[in-house]
Amino acid sequence: MKTILYLFLGIVLIVAGTAVLTYQGVTLTTAERQFLNFGPLTAGTHEFNRTITLPPLLGGILLAAGMVLVFIIAVVKRSPRHEKHLKLPSGSGLAAPNMK
C-alpha cells in the first residue's frame, strides 16, 4: 500500500515539476466588489493583479525528486526480497511438475 502511495506521489511531483518548467509564473486576479454604495453614487470594483513567479530551479528539483522516487519504487518492487512467492503443498496437484 505504501509503494502505491509513493508511486502516486512521484508521479504528482513529475507532473508538478513539468508544469512549473512550462508555466514559469501564475497570474492571480482578485476583485473587490462595490465598496461604496451611497444612493446613486457607487464606487466600482477594483481589480488587483498579482503575478507569482516560479523559478525554473524549483521545477527541476520537483521533476528530479519525482523521477528518483519512481525509480526507487521500481527498484524495490523488482528486488527478490520483496516478492511474495506462492507456496503450494506438494500433494495438492497444483504444483508445477518436475521436468527431468
Tens of pLDDT, residue by residue over 37-50, are 666 666 666 677 78
Residue 46's domain spans which residues?
A: 2-79
CA dist., res. 24 & res. 16, Å (int): 12
C-alpha cell at 14: 513529475
Give 43-85 pLDDT, tens digit per residue. Answer: 666 677 788 888 899 999 999 999 999 998 888 877 666 555 4
Tell whether 22 is covered by a domain: yes
Tell whether 93 is covered by a domain: no
Can you spell out the DSSP letters for 24-77?
-EEEEEEEE--SEEETTEEE--EEEEEEEE--HHHHHHHHHHHHHHHHHHHHHH
Tell whether 68 is covered by a domain: yes
Tell whether 99 is covered by a domain: no
CA dist., res. 34 & res. 89, Å (int): 78
Tell whether 28 is covered by a domain: yes
Average pLDDT, the chain: 76
Considering its fold, how many domains does the chain have in total? 1
Tell whether 88 is covered by a domain: no
Tell whether 24 is covered by a domain: yes
Residue 25: per-residue pLDDT = 81
Tell whether 86 is covered by a domain: no
